[in-house]
């Protein structure tokens, strides 16, 4: 889970890639040469349509009417009282249609593909923004164990009736460790990036092995 540092630093790089897909020293295209024309065509189409009013209006329409955005903030009263310290809030991306934050960018990809005359979507890519944010001192990254994530999965489910994705449970695990170290007037915001019904069977199997 990214932890924002207390002191702000000046960002020396733009938060958008240059014409060759670089964020400063990060990024670029690490793809087979045969795919380069298709990737470049997508980049050209993005530049063409990203500020187009019709494109942006259609994107906003589907984000609201199909995905269910804007996703709400939820005050985790029981969890806050259990651990003390900062007030814990959750950004409920798990309430988006299909149960995860990924629907936000896939809608954009599909609308772009439609304007390009394409009919199939293969996959999305993951950009180098996290490495850039870390090097700029604008974000700090921490780790929790799988056991801690499992415990957080169960804790949140019991305390608030929210079943988080195991991915999000890692963030919850760190949040409940961090909250007691902060003053009560502070607010701790955790992004629940997906819902956990997809993980329930796996969690049950893990618990069975622990109990046995």
Closest Cα partner for 195 from 101, 100, 106, 104? 100
Q: Among the listed ranges 13-22, 71-80, 170-179, which one has the minimum average pLDDT value?
A: 13-22
What does the longest C-alpha to C-alpha distance in the chain come to? 59
What backbone phi and psi angles, to 5 degrees, belong to 137?
75, 15
Torsion of CA 26, 114, 47, 135, to 10 degrees: -20
Q: How far apart are CA 115 and CA 55, in angstroms?
A: 9
pLDDT computed for residue 158 by the predictor: 96
Band (25; pLDDT cuts 50, 70, 90): confident
* pTM given for the model: 0.80
Token representation of residue 174: 């760190």
Q: What is the mean pLDDT of residues 180-194?
A: 96
CATH code, residues 22-211 = 3.40.50.1100
pLDDT tens figures, 115-127 = 999 988 876 655 6
pLDDT computed for residue 153 by the predictor: 97
Tokens 């092995």 found at: 209
Token representation of residue 127: 């950009």
What residue segments make up the domains of the chain, in order of their start?
22-211
pLDDT tens figures, 146-184 = 999 999 999 999 999 999 999 999 999 999 999 999 999
Helix (H, G, I), strand (E, B) or coil at 44: helix
């Amino acid at each position: 889970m990214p932890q924002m540092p207390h002191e702000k630093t000046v960002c020396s790089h733009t938060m958008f890639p240059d014409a060759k897909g670089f964020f400063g020293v990060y990024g670029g295209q690490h793809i087979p040469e045969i795919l380069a024309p298709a990737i470049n065509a997508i980049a050209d189409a993005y530049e063409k349509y990203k500020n187009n009013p019709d494109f942006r209006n259609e994107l906003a329409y589907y984000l609201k009417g199909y995905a269910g955005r804007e996703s709400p903030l939820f005050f985790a009263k029981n969890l806050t009282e259990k651990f003390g310290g900062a007030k814990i809030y959750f950004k409920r991306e798990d309430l988006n249609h299909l149960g995860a934050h990924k629907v936000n960018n896939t809608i954009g990809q599909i609308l772009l593909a439609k304007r390009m005359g394409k009919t199939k979507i293969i996959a999305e890519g993951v950009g180098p923004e996290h490495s850039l944010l870390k090097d700029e001192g604008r974000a700090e990254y921490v780790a929790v164990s799988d056991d801690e994530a499992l415990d957080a999965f169960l804790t949140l489910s019991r305390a608030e009736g929210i079943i988080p994705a195991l991915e999000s449970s890692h963030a919850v695990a760190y949040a409940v460790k961090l909250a007691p170290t902060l003053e009560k007037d502070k607010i701790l915001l955790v992004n629940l990036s997906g819902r956990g019904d997809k993980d329930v069977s796996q969690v049950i199997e893990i618990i069975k092995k622990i109990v046995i």
